[in-house]
């Protein structure tokens, strides 16, 4: 990945997350997102990112500190520091955490249950695409919270998609109508919806707005779509007014700088 792609991916996912936060859990068609807004579902100021970006930054920080090796115990410690102490957040406050993540972080055991096939690990694994990681390492990073085999496979698939985008791959157009796209919290729905948004739009802006406007798990769909669009279109394609509104940007900047050292 080039330095511009790394920055595009990291800012792209954080901006997507922040765009979606005010509308999380709202039904499709009950709102219209056309830019960075405040308050809404979690009553946060405009530009506030949520668990998706916080856990992504924790993952990235762990990789940087451990010479790009996946160390599940270090990941768990950083996720705990986020959940219990508000690390990797703009305000030191955690206002959004999925049930599977919360129970796994507290118990130290990733869930293998049939009902634990949510998007809580998919949303945070983008940094694993910066430098090559084995399938086994990607599965181990998911398993800190989400150890169901299907979720781990989906994380491998998503990291490989990000790598292909970085190598110039363009997804084929996806002719399915919006009605055919589900945007809830299951890992399959998020991966599919995010790729549909990328395939059927022509800019970073249109991709993440399409993701938010699908409704339901707005922040996570837009976070996953935003990582892909950020790689595809580059940092310079992210609207300047959204970057300006993004809170906690110095934290992203410091980690992005560290990530691109020696690429
Ligand atoms: Mg969230």
Does 52 show up as a binding residue in the annotation? yes
CA–centroid distance, residue 54 to ligand 1 (Å)? 9
Instruction: Provide the sign of the torsion angle of the four alpha carbons 104, 181, 29, 124, taken in this order.
Output: positive
d(CA 19, CA 214): 12
Do 143 and 110 meet the contact criterion of CB atoms below 8 Å apart? yes
Domain count, the chain: 1
CA–centroid distance, residue 52 to ligand 1 (Å)? 5
Token pair in block for residue 241:
């007014």
Residue 115: per-residue pLDDT = 85
Does 51 show up as a binding residue in the annotation? yes
Does 192 show up as a binding residue in the annotation? no
CA–centroid distance, residue 98 to ligand 1 (Å)? 8
Residue 262: per-residue pLDDT = 75
Q: pLDDT tens, 70-119?
A: 999 999 999 999 999 999 999 999 998 988 999 999 999 999 998 899 99
d(CA 162, CA 224): 10
Q: pLDDT tens, 203-249?
A: 999 999 999 999 999 999 999 999 999 999 999 999 999 999 999 99
CATH number at residue 169: 1.10.4080.10
CA–centroid distance, residue 95 to ligand 1 (Å)? 9
CA–centroid distance, residue 44 to ligand 1 (Å)? 12
How far from 229 is each of 14, 60, 100, 107, 149, CA to CA, in Å? 12, 19, 27, 35, 27
CA–centroid distance, residue 172 to ligand 1 (Å)? 28
Does 201 show up as a binding residue in the annotation? no
Domain carrying residue 230: 3-260
Do 24 and 218 meet the contact criterion of CB atoms below 8 Å apart? yes
Considering the chain, what percentage of its residues have pLDDT values greater than 90?
96
CA–centroid distance, residue 94 to ligand 1 (Å)? 10
CA–centroid distance, residue 199 to ligand 1 (Å)? 23
CA–centroid distance, residue 262 to ligand 1 (Å)? 31
Do 231 and 162 meet the contact criterion of CB atoms below 8 Å apart? yes
CA–centroid distance, residue 217 to ligand 1 (Å)? 8
Mean pLDDT value of segment 189-204: 98
Which uninterrupted H or E stretch holds 76? helix 72-85
CA–centroid distance, residue 174 to ligand 1 (Å)? 26
Do 117 and 186 meet the contact criterion of CB atoms below 8 Å apart? yes
Does 217 show up as a binding residue in the annotation? yes
């Amino acid at each position: 990945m080039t330095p511009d792609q790394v920055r595009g991916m990291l800012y792209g996912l954080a901006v997507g997350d922040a765009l979606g936060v005010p509308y999380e859990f709202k039904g499709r068609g009950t709102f219209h997102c056309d830019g960075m807004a405040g308050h809404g579902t979690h009553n946060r100021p405009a530009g506030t990112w949520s668990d998706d970006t916080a856990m992504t930054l924790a993952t990235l920080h762990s990789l940087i500190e451990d010479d790009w090796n996946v160390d599940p115990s270090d990941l768990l410690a950083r996720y705990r520091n986020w959940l219990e102490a508000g690390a990797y957040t703009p305000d030191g406050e955690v206002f959004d955490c999925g049930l599977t993540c919360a129970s796994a972080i507290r118990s130290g055991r990733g869930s293998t249950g049939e009902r634990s096939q949510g998007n809580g690990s998919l949303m945070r694994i983008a940094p694993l695409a910066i430098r090559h990681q084995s399938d086994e390492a990607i599965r181990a990073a998911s398993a800190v919270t989400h150890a169901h085999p299907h979720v781990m496979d989906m994380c491998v698939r998503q990291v490989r998609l990000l790598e292909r985008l970085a190598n110039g791959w363009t997804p084929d157009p996806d002719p399915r109508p919006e009605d055919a796209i589900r945007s809830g919290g299951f890992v399959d729905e998020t991966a599919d919806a995010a790729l549909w948004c990328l395939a059927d739009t022509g800019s970073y802006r249109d991709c993440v707005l399409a993701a938010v406007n699908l409704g339901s798990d707005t922040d996570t769909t837009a976070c996953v779509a935003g990582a892909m669009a950020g790689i595809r279109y580059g940092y310079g394609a992210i609207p300047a007014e959204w970057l300006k509104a993004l809170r906690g940007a110095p934290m992203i900047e410091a980690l992005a700088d560290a990530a691109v050292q020696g690429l």
